[in-house]
Amino acid sequence: MSLDRRHFLAAAGGAVVGLVGESSSGGGARARAPVSRSQAPGFYRFSLGQFQLTVVSDGTIAFPAEALWPEAPKAERDAVLASDFQPTDKSTLQVNVLVVNTGDRLVLIDAGSRGKMQQQPTAGRLLQKLAAAEIKPEEVDTILITHAHPDHLWGVADASDTERTFPNAEYVIGEAELNFWMQPDHPLASHAVWGDIYGQNMKTLAAIKDRIRTVKPDGEVVPGITAIATPGHTPGHTSVQIASGSSQLLCTADVVGNRAVAFQHPDWRGGFDLDLDQGAKTRRAFLDRCASEKVMVSSYHLPFPGVGHVVRAGAAFSWLSSDWTWDGVSPT
């Protein structure tokens, strides 16, 4: 049965009349419906060669701008942030955990914080979002810890560090990184700012220590996933190369954070980099590699889902987000 145009308009008109009548007799507009603050599920799938990748959000974390770039002239720092329509007093970072299904192994790149960063109540959502993406913690085979900062490491165990979040997983971490954080007499363990984090790291690493495998610079994490030594943010900080067939992706970890500052001023020394000079040097070198190779990039702290490309902009760089793909295919 076909509906011709005249009948269609009549039917549609009837519906409109019905709605108006209902609204006026009910005495209120539909905009009075309850306002929800819930968002979409917080995961994003795409493909890379034969691999399926899913970015799963742990939420967001925020820090004062002056703590992130303590040496940058305030006026210049404010101008960069304002020109990007960001607040000038603080920087909010997404927490994008990358899940790689190689067909053979299910691999997480970092583990979020599991709500253990008490000053950052907007983070710690990874388990909820993994469930939304239908990824079960017990299915995870390998977790690469790019570095032992709270937003990357603490999610491997519960609040008391007695129960592992991913019961069947092995943990891969840079050899230099593990060695750095497991020295009770290290000066950082009693440092005013870093002391608490150092102590918590030792507890959390102890919870997984019988499942840890260390990786050397440029070592294989699992077939298709290779560690890239990018020291500076921490001594054993690791970025990642993921390759399937001729398709490649570079995963920055914390070489970059803010979408404007890290790219426009890669040489500004970052307040959270443990080695300030090396951190800046590594950032420029890594961004240079991404731009030269024109490779797809995934980034832990850039706007969700943190997938895109790095391009040159004068003597610095710029971040270009990829267009969202709705069917889990390779983004452009």
Binding residues for Zn ion (CB under 5 A): 151, 254
Burial class, 93, CB count within 10 angstroms (exposed 0-12 / middle 13-18 / buried 19+): buried
Nearest approach, Cβ of 197 to Zn ion (angstroms)? Answer: 12
Nearest approach, Cβ of 151 to Zn ion (angstroms)? Answer: 4
Nearest approach, Cβ of 61 to Zn ion (angstroms)? Answer: 8
Nearest approach, Cβ of 98 to Zn ion (angstroms)? Answer: 13
CB nearer to Zn ion: give 60 or 247. Answer: 60
CB nearer to Zn ion: give 254 or 273. Answer: 254
CB nearer to Zn ion: give 58 or 151. Answer: 151
Helix (H) or strand (E) holding 172, with range, is strand 170-174
Nearest approach, Cβ of 117 to Zn ion (angstroms)? Answer: 10
Q: In angstroms, rounded to a whole number, what is the distance separating the alpha carbons of residues 317 and 27?
A: 56
Nearest approach, Cβ of 93 to Zn ion (angstroms)? Answer: 7
CB nearer to Zn ion: give 150 or 224. Answer: 150
What are the two backbone dihedrals, phi and then psi, of residue 284, each rounded to the nearest 5 degrees? -65, -40
Q: In angstroms, rounded to a whole number, what is the distance separating the alpha carbons of residues 323 and 301?
A: 18
Q: In angstroms, rounded to a whole number, what is the distance separating the alpha carbons of residues 57 and 37?
A: 17
Residues 249 and 107 sit within 8 Å (Cβ to Cβ)? no
Q: In angstroms, rounded to a whole number, what is the distance separating the alpha carbons of residues 286 and 230?
A: 8
**3-class secondary structure per residue, 97-113:** EEEEECCCCEEEECCCC
Nearest approach, Cβ of 194 to Zn ion (angstroms)? Answer: 14
CB nearer to Zn ion: give 109 or 290. Answer: 109
Planar angle of CA 228, 179, 66, nearest 5 degrees: 70
CB nearer to Zn ion: give 58 or 254. Answer: 254
Residues 294 and 309 sit within 8 Å (Cβ to Cβ)? yes
CB nearer to Zn ion: give 58 or 161. Answer: 58
Range 162-179 burial, b when 16+ CB lie within 10 A, else e = eebbbeebbbbbbbbbbe
Residues with Cβ within 8 Å of residue 144, at least 6 apart in sequence: 107, 108, 109, 110, 171, 172, 173, 215, 221, 225, 227, 238, 240
CB nearer to Zn ion: give 148 or 310. Answer: 148
Nearest approach, Cβ of 222 to Zn ion (angstroms)? Answer: 22
Residues 143 and 108 sit within 8 Å (Cβ to Cβ)? yes
